[in-house]
Amino acid sequence: MLPSRLAYRAGATTLRQSRTISPITLGTQQSRSVSVYGYEQAKCLTFPDYGEPKDVLKLHGHSISPPHRDLVTMRFLASPINPADINQIQGVYPSKPTFTTNMSSAEPLAVGGNEGVAEIMAVGSGVKGLQKGDWVIQKAPGFGTWRTHAQTTADPLLKIENHEGLTPEQVGTVSINPCTAYRMLKDFVSLQPGDWFMQNGANSGVGRAAIQLGKLWGYKSINIVRKRETGFEEMKKDLESLGADIVVTDEEMADRSMREKIMEITNGGREQIKLGLNCVGGKLVNNMAKQLSEGAHIVTYGAMSKQPVTLPTPLLIFKNISFDGFWVSKWSKNNPEEKKKCVDEVLDLTRQGKFHDTPMQPVHWNIGTKQQELVDAVQGTLEGYRSGKGIFVFGET
């Protein structure tokens, strides 16, 4: 039987360097098989140690007792597979998972996944503000969302006030990519309608979100994508359909003629390029910085190339270009009320058909889904074989 409350496991932090034990409750599963005593039979995709997903992920089952006092039991509806989730399993992501024995395991386990939406199934007598049928997302990463069911307090959960007209996939992917794009466009410079921003990784989830939000707010965008042998024209048309004004390749950005093209695009430089968004790194960032207006900011939120961002001295001295960083996980933790407003606004735009998330490829997780199917879905994201974002979609079981 599971303990009614999570307890801090003394000495567990010595298990491995940088692993943490949290007093938050972690439960799971997806099959709707419930015993006559009201116990949920949960399953979750777990790992006992850091490593490659194919080597460490295992499907683990356990029971969840009926909630009491300040506990809630919930079932997950949809949980995406993000690159950061894989980095966390590999042990190279700043946000560390929670390793715990509270899922009736012999050794501490962590549950994969940092984003997702769940439905409240039952609440304890002391729970305020949540009730059966509510949809919730996580306030911060580290909870573990690749699971069918979970039991916790209300503290780590953010209630979705209105999910009418929305799918679980739309709600389950709102808190990372769209919020990252939203805050970077709003928080570093004061963009006005008609101003430009420039971004690399424009076909990423954040990039696509920035294009759409920028267009809605009257901003113009120069969007940089990696040069590829085939498919560029199709990608360009796709991004333009979202609202991209200009789509170029990273090789074009390195060409000396780009300065003249930028001057032409921005009406002789009279239209300001005040903001650059970077998730790639390396020399491309320098090529972008050269095209920015005086006093502009470059905001780095990723490092796909694994190359450093260097600071060109003349741009610092003579153009006063600022280099900033942004991590939505830390922002969410420090600004819970602002995150709620951001999530609500993006979901309202989604409901109106004004915002569309990255194309997704559902990975259906049902009562009979085997471990290897789930592990392959995660490893496949790492190897980049699918056309859309992988997302676990939990069936009624």
Residues 156, 16 within the same domain: yes
Position 280 scores a pLDDT of: 96
Q: Look up the CATH number of the domain holding residue 310.
A: 3.40.50.720
pTM summary value = 0.88
pLDDT cut 70: percent of the chain above it? 89
Rounded to an integer, the average pLDDT of 367-390 is 85
In a domain, 352, yes or no: no
Helix/strand/coil for 363: strand
In a domain, 343, yes or no: no
Position 19 scores a pLDDT of: 44
In a domain, 336, yes or no: no
Residues 137, 264 within the same domain: no
Q: Give me the catalytic one of 50, 93, 182, 219.
A: 93
In a domain, 298, yes or no: yes
Q: Which of 311, 329, 347 is the last residue of a domain?
A: 329
Residues 323, 191 within the same domain: yes
Report the alpha-carbon distance of residue 135 to residue 131 in Å, rounded: 9
In a domain, 89, yes or no: yes
Report the alpha-carbon distance of residue 365 to residue 362 in Å, rounded: 9
Rounded to an integer, the average pLDDT of 31-55 is 81
Rounded to an integer, the average pLDDT of 239-244 is 97
Residues 166, 224 within the same domain: no
Q: How confident is the model at residue 397 (pLDDT cuts 50, 70, 90)?
A: low
Position 17 scores a pLDDT of: 40
Helical axes 336-351 vs 177-187, angle rounded to 10° = 110
Residues 22, 90 within the same domain: yes
Position 311 scores a pLDDT of: 82
In a domain, 338, yes or no: no
Q: Which of 275, 310, 329 is the last residue of a domain?
A: 329
Q: Structure tokens of 107?
A: 């050794």
Rounded to an integer, the average pLDDT of 300-310 is 91
Residues 251, 321 within the same domain: yes
Residues 184, 275 within the same domain: yes
39 in active site: no
Residues 204, 317 within the same domain: yes
8-state DSSP, 51: S
- For the CA atoms of 241, 239, 278, 171, what is the dihedral angle to 10 degrees? 70
Provide the domain limits for residue 373: 12-173+360-394
Residues 279, 239 within the same domain: yes
Residues 162, 270 within the same domain: no
pLDDT cut 90: percent of the chain above it? 80
Question: pLDDT of 65-111, one tens digit each?
Answer: 999 999 999 999 999 999 999 999 999 999 899 999 999 999 999 99
Residues 21, 169 within the same domain: yes
Residues 153, 223 within the same domain: no
Q: How confident is the model at residue 9 (pLDDT cuts 50, 70, 90)?
A: very low
Question: pLDDT of 181-240, one tens digit each?
Answer: 999 999 999 999 999 999 999 999 999 999 999 999 999 999 999 998 889 999 999 999
Position 268 scores a pLDDT of: 86
Q: How confident is the model at residue 316 (pLDDT cuts 50, 70, 90)?
A: very high
Q: Look up the CATH number of the domain holding residue 52.
A: 3.90.180.10
Domain count, the chain: 2
Rounded to an integer, the average pLDDT of 31-46 is 71
Q: Which of 329, 344, 378 is the last residue of a domain?
A: 329
